């Protein structure tokens, strides 16, 4: 019940246990960052994202060792193999995220309902660097939780379609706590979760979904100055005032809660489905994780 014929922890139980550990890492990182940063919101985000990413790395590497019997290339086994093509996939992901964001915002810009304001100064440079760090590490941490060890084992346990559905819903649900969350925001975030899950399954690596996630958040929040899932903390250099009907702008949650956002999420999924992408695997890792050869491909 708890182990496979090879003596390894059953994939579904690995998913459950890693899910509990992920929640614990999230909670402990949040409490610790609040204790250190107090009411300094940007510093809190820097500490929280860094602690969360490091905690997840440690927990998942430990689980790979004790539950899966993987003793080499464990970072690669988490979905971050440093093999030929990894950087290309990361850059492609960033470009896709950038392009989809521009398409989502374009109708608002054309209608004249977007008014950006630029903020400059030496103190802005420090804050901008902190925001870039939060965006980079934050996207990685979310991808490790929602497309990393827990997702990979649920795919093995119940199949790709079921795992995509479970994690897309979870991805949408956790964003309900964000400012301005709405039904449209939930639906669109679920659709984006499907997009990112397919990006992982097409490549069997986190580089592509991490790049898409980063490219979207970086373009929307840092370059265009708009809300990212209701959050305004990334608008340090550019801050845009957005007006217009809520179905088009998404209200205070941003374009991720708009009708355009839903269309763009579907377009992005089609793009990732059709792009000529290859799976990233290391030879030794492929031998260690031979049981993954039976996983359904997308």
Each residue's pLDDT tens digit, 216-263: 999 999 999 999 999 999 999 999 999 888 888 999 999 999 999 999
Q: Is the pLDDT of residue 93 over 80?
A: yes
- Alpha helices, H only, 78-148: 86-110, 122-147
Q: Which residues contact 241 (CB under 8 A, 6 or more apart)?
A: 114, 115, 116, 117
Task: Return the CA Rg of the chain.
Answer: 19
CA-based nearest residue to 255, from 192, 174, 166: 192
Quickly state the pLDDT bin for 282 (edges 50, 70, 90): low
Please, what is the average pLDDT of the chain?
A: 91
pLDDT above 70 (res 292) = no
Mean pLDDT, range 67-81, rounded to an integer: 91
Q: Can you tell me the distance from the alpha carbon of 222 to that of 236, in angstroms, rounded to the nearest whole number?
A: 7
Q: How many CB atoms lie within 10 A of CB 62?
A: 12
Judge whether 212 and 196 are in contact, CB under 8 Å: yes
- The kind and range of the H/E element at 241 are strand 238-242
Cα–Cα distance, 298 to 296 (Å, whole number): 7
Kindly tell me if the per-residue pLDDT of 284 is higher than 60.
Answer: no
């Amino acid at each position: 019940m708890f182990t496979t014929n090879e003596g390894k922890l059953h994939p579904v139980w690995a998913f459950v246990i890693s899910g509990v550990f992920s929640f614990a890492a999230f909670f402990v990182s949040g409490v610790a960052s609040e204790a250190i940063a107090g009411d300094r919101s940007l510093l809190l985000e820097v500490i929280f994202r860094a602690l969360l990413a490091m905690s997840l790395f440690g927990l998942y590497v430990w689980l790979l060792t004790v539950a899966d019997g993987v003793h080499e290339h464990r970072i690669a086994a988490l979905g971050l193999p440093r093999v030929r093509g990894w950087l290309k996939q990361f850059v492609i992901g960033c470009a896709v995220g950038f392009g989809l964001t521009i398409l989502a915002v374009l109708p608002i810009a054309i209608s004249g309902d977007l008014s950006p304001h630029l903020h400059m100064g030496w103190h802005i440079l420090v804050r901008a660097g902190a925001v870039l760090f939060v965006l980079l590490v934050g996207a990685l941490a979310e991808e490790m939780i929602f497309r990393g060890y827990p997702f990979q084992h649920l795919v093995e346990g119940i199949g790709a379609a079921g795992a995509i559905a479970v994690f897309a819903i979870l991805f949408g649900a956790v964003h309900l706590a964000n400012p301005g969350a709405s039904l449209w925001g939930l639906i669109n975030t679920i659709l984006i979760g499907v997009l990112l899950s397919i990006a992982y399954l097409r490549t069997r690596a986190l580089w592509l979904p991490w790049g898409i996630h980063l490219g979207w958040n970086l373009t929307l929040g840092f370059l265009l100055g708009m809300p990212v899932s209701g959050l305004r903390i990334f608008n340090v250099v550019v801050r845009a005032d957005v007006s217009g009907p809520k179905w088009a702008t998404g209200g205070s949650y941003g374009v991720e809660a708009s009708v355009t956002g839903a269309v763009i999420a579907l377009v992005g999924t089609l793009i990732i489905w059709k792009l000529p992408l290859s799976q990233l695997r290391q030879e030794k890792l492929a031998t260690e994780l031979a049981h993954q050869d039976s996983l359904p491909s997308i």
